[in-house]
Amino acid sequence: MGQLLRSEVPVQETWDLSSLYQDNDAFYSALKELVENVTAFNEKYVNQLNEISTIESALREQADLIVSIIHLSTYAELLYSTDTTDEQSQKVVAQFSTTYGKVAGLLSFVESEILQLDDEAFNALIKQSEYPKYLTLLKRQKEHTLHPEVEKALATFSPTFGAPYELYGITKMLDIEFGTFEANGEEIPLDYVSFEGDYEVDSNTEVRRNAFKKFSDALRRYENTTAATYNAHVQKEKIESELRGYDSVIDFLLESQDVTREMYDRQIDVISEELAPHMRRYAQLLKRTNNLDKLKFEDLRISLDPTYEPDVSIEGSKEYIKEALSVLGEDYMQMVNDSYDKRWIDFPQNKGKQTGAYCASPYGVNPFIFISWTSKMTEVFVLAHELGHAGHFNLANAHQNVYQADCSMYFVEAPSTMNEMLMANSLLKKSDDPKFKRWVISSIISRTYYHNMVTHLLEAKYQREVYRHVDKGEALTAPLLNSIKKQVISDFWGDEVEITEGAELTWMRQPHYYMGFYPYTYSAGLTIGTAMSQRIEKEGQPAVEDWLNVLKAGGSKSPVELAQMAGIDITTDKPLKETIAYIGHLIDELESLTNEIE
């Protein structure tokens, strides 16, 4: 059975974008208006930002322009992601992209001129401004800032610099044809969404392994183009880091996250070393409960108990989520109910829809959640995760100005993964049946921890190796990327898992590589999320209050300060080591439950 076209899916299961714009025409006229407003703003303030009062009023006026840009870019992205084949949506995205370069060029003078202030004036500005955190981070860039005209040129070129990511998406979603694969005597159609949503976790070994082979063979045909696209992206980052006077592209990319190189390396090194032995035990359990003669790379995502996977309807997911998240209070639950009732979530699986799940939270408007509903219980965890982002930025946007609402990428996955832990804790209380308990714990391992601590760790470790090559002045080719990826996977799984041919191509599947140092932040967020969910379990309301205050703080504080507000010290490796020990404890429980069941 092929996938439905976007026009064939039930409207009530799609999101409603009218809180942004009524339709594409409204979008185009808002885009035109933005260019006029930005041009007028530029004429009013360019070469004028030398007095504190003038800077303050310019920043206030620019805030409205930034909100318009956020609304326009969100609309374009949301529209396109639900159907990449739609011509009108392609046009909307392309039009925004071209216009954005012009707009960014016209606005670049604001930061450039503020950065011309001497230290005394800059400190005075920070002291009396409504945007102290934003300005403090800006001041830190001072030594890496280029001449205003150069900054303007770079900003104007931003759509061109963003092209590799766009090309990657086009190759992935529009050009690669997977055809069909044969399993159990039948021909089965394959595409990105069905592989990642269904066949990769299919309990039938022949279906799963044959799908993986067909999927990998199709990817391999595009490995050189995809490597060249990725190389263009990282070389651009390297050139910019050198222009700005950074010793390493790694330091350049970490700057915006407001964290130290030590915090970055620690996440990768400690997990590689200490989590791997636990996960190898988990791999052995998978092999045992699924009666496999050997465990291959493409078997790692299967369920521990393929006979026990409750199906969940969209309506049914609501009950599970309400039960798990109600501890966060009435206002939070209102946001959860609105997400379902006011169509803030896009559920359908349709042709041309992008893969994965995400939450967009445009400032001053409701959040939007993107998911492809498969009726598997794992989707409830995914939804709880995305609602964590929605709840976070709903509160941050309400309590912070637009300059200080977005928190550092290092912290961004904490609220989402925290919700997954609340989901798990809530399910564990539901029943003492060993099969149910084992299913819940294995869902926590396979969904929450595997995804955030293992999948993203292996991406992060691969990514760090890639940038080490780039720092040495090397270009990236498909054979080099394949060998780095293969090494990273083999080191983690050791002899417990057979690394099948095709596993090394996994780097081709992940858009995160075009988003700076995103992958390692998942484990950082989950470390904070785990510690916080345990505090809520133990302390109840006082811990919840602390957490809601953290969410309201948005980006007004650094990741270290946000974690501190939650009573967690991330300047040491203690929370991380405790999280890894907790995973080890969960795997102990899985082993004893399996012994009991067998």
pLDDT at residue 330 is higher than 80 = yes
Which pLDDT belongs to residue 293? 94
pLDDT at residue 76 is higher than 70 = yes
Which pLDDT belongs to residue 488? 96
pLDDT band at 2 (very low <50, low <70, confident <90, very high): low
Give the H/E segment covering residue 401.
none
pLDDT at residue 1 is higher than 60 = no
Closest CA to 410 of 316, 523, 333: 523
Task: Spell out the residues 6+ positions from residue 541 whose beta carbon is closer than 8 angstroms to its own.
Answer: none
Please give the single-letter amino acid code of residue 374: T
- CA–CA distance, 499 with 252 (Å, rounded to integer): 34
pLDDT band at 356 (very low <50, low <70, confident <90, very high): confident
pLDDT tens per residue, range 18-37: 999 999 999 999 999 999 99
| Secondary structure letter of residue 455 according to DSSP | I
pLDDT tens per residue, range 133-189: 999 999 999 999 999 899 999 989 988 999 999 999 989 888 999 999 999 999 999
Q: How many residues does the chain have?
A: 598
Hey, what are 372's tokens? 């492809």
pLDDT band at 355 (very low <50, low <70, confident <90, very high): confident
- CA–CA distance, 331 with 32 (Å, rounded to integer): 37
Backbone angles phi, psi at 297, to 5 degrees: -50, -40
Closest CA to 368 of 33, 74, 13, 39: 74
Average pLDDT, the chain: 94
pLDDT tens per residue, range 190-232: 998 889 888 999 999 999 999 999 999 999 999 999 999 999 9
Which pLDDT belongs to residue 452? 83
Contacts 24+ apart (CB under 8 A), 66-71: 66/363, 66/402, 66/403, 67/363, 67/364, 67/402, 68/30, 68/33, 68/34, 68/37, 69/34, 69/100, 69/103, 70/362, 70/363, 70/402, 71/20, 71/21, 71/30, 71/362, 71/364, 71/365
